[in-house]
Structure 1
Amino acid sequence: MTQTLPLLDKTVLVPRGENQAKSFSQLVERFGGIPIEIPLIAFRPIEKNQRLYNSLLALDTYDWIIFTSNVTVETFFSFFNKREIGGAFPRIAVIGKKTAEALEAMGFSPEFVPSAYVAETFVEEFSPLLDRDARVLLPKGNLAREYIARTLTERGARVDEVVIYETYLPDESRDKLARMLADLKLDILTFTSPSTVDHLMAVVKQYGLNEQLSNCLIGCIGPVTEKKLRDYGLPVHASPKEFTVKEMINSMVAYLETEE
């Protein structure tokens, strides 16, 4: 039996950086697609400041620390010096399997991982584990949502947020994306976070490329990313219930097979 290739010769935007794009691109190729790697989001640690330094020094006074992404884990531990900080490490909660894997690579294990990798599910399942007045440290990026901190605070926890990295769109990505959209060289756009949507739409607005988007199919991960796309008036053709790249690609394949 001949294997069908639903993505045959279709170009698929892979919005991740070099270190994260490989497995994503391999999935696209498995279905016959052509991955186009254009990082729509990049991260850089903030300059170490007094607030961050104080949080690290007081680490043993927190009951929990929450990591929401592998980037948060990697950036936090780039600042963390066990010999300098000392003391006990708080209990650890994470959102997502990839985040847990990044943490384990640092020699730590999470005590809590939610059943679904979104902030709303995390809060509902994590809240019962918190004593009233529990102290929680939440390292985050400069564009991260405030939902977790706000909701846990409303439920009696004392949450300290500390920004440890900033999010940006690389200049080379801006130029490449503009060229490929203008030349109608992208068949399928995929988005892994609301920031990737914002960054692409900033390029679309800057170069007047709204009309070119009408030729693209769109897939995304998670309800917040989907909402961001719809806020821009864009259709969403694939948005799986399981918030992983693999399921997003499977969902897009299912959409294409149904259409055909």
Structure 2
Amino acid sequence: MATPLPDHKLLVARRILICRPEPEASRLADAFREAGAEARVLPLIRREPLPETPATRTLIQNLDLYTHVIAVSPYAAGLFLALADNWWPQLPMGIRWYGVGGGTASIFAQSGLDPCKPAKGWTSEALLALPSLQTFHHEKVLLVRGEDGRELIQQTLTERGADVTLLPLYRRLSPTPDKASLDSALLHFHPDAVITLSGETLNNFIALSKNSGHNPETTLLVVPASRIAQRAHQVGLTQTCVPQSLADTDIVAAVAQELDRRTGSAGNTK
């Protein structure tokens, strides 16, 4: 269950920079504004659907041969369902559907499916802990994702005996903001917290900070998992926060609580 939005007072005058792709970035910005914060959007990842190919069509047409279908993100799940709708007025029976996290699972659920998802967490490791993904006898698994990423899922399921097929439906691109936009977001806005919900987004933010002269060492970085937090720590960025989930309300609540805690800690040291 998502956390209720925090009291407005906790985020008043707080500046939040959101580096998610659209449309999630603007939606999250609205959630922060509802909680009293000033929010700006600077997407550092852009997603682009891949053109449909004969190989893609063949995979979709043979969907009934698969016993498990895993989508790695809400975006992947949405693209998959739109594509499948062209060939399957009613999706075949007997498939177990999976979302890496609750948001992805909800996309499948909106289409009348009953997806599996981790009871806690939204990482590849959490998904791979599900009992129904432990042992395979050459069952066919379709992994719906971008052009790259989530290699751990494919590798682990293959080692467990699954016949894994990749279905890449989009590519991730790294936009390069112009200097004026970058200076406005980092130097003039001077965010209290930056939302970087993937390793790639974090890397792009670090690189752009160096190029702009912005010092992110005292900025709260919101990251999706502890392994991404460790990556930030390795380059000297120790002010990190992992939210309870990637639901908008949980991200807002985590930022509010962490910034409030830091304010209280600073006051106690005076």
What is the match of residue 64 of structure 1? 68
Once the two structures are superposed, the pairs formed by residues 169-184 of structure 1 within 5 Å of their partners are 169-172=174-177, 176-183=181-188
8 Å contact kept, 1:114–1:125: yes
Question: Are the equivalent residues in 2 in contact too, given 1:65–1:136 (CA < 8 A)?
Answer: yes
d(CA) in 2 for partners of 1:22, 1:115: 28
Which of 222, 246, 259 pairs up with 1:256? 259
Aligned-CA RMSD value: 2.8
After superposition, give the CA deviation of every residue in 1:124-173 in whole Å (9 maximum; x if it has no partner). Answer: 11445754211100011123220111111111111111221001133447
Partner of 2:170: 165
Residue 43 (str. 1) matches residue 65 (str. 2): no
Quote the offset at 1:175 in angstroms: 5.8
Pairing partner for 2:11 from 7, 13, 28 = 7
The 2-side partners of 1:87 and 1:8 are apart by: 47
Post-superposition shift, 1:200? 1.6
Instruction: Please report how far the alpha carbon of residue 188 of structure 1 lies from its aligned counterpart in structure 2 after TM superposition.
Output: 1.4
Q: How many angstroms apart in 1 are the aligned matches of 2:109 and 2:260?
A: 38
Deviations 1:70-96 (A, max 9, x none): 100122234334447988363311122
Quote the residue 1:140 is aligned against: 145
Q: CA separation in 2, counterparts of 1:63 and 1:160? A: 12
Aligned partner of 1:196 in structure 2 is: 201
Query: Aligned partners of 1:244 and 1:227: how far apart in 2?
Result: 22
Higher relative contact order (CA 8 A, sep 6+): 2
Unmatched 5+ stretches in structure 2:
1-6, 264-270
- For residues 198 and 52 of structure 1, the distance between their equivalents in structure 2, rounded to whole angstroms, comes to 31
Helix, strand or coil at the partner of 1:32: coil
Q: Percent identity?
A: 20
Distance in 2, Cα, partners of 1:43 & 1:162: 16
Contact 1:40/1:173, CA 8 A, preserved across alignment: no
Task: Compare 57-66 and 234-243 and name the one that shifted more.
Answer: 234-243
**Using the alignment, how far apart are the partners of 1:174 and 1:230 within structure 2?**
27
Structure 1 residues 129 and 212, CA, compared in 2 at 3 Å: closer, same or farther?
A: closer
Match of 1:20 among 24, 34, 39: 24
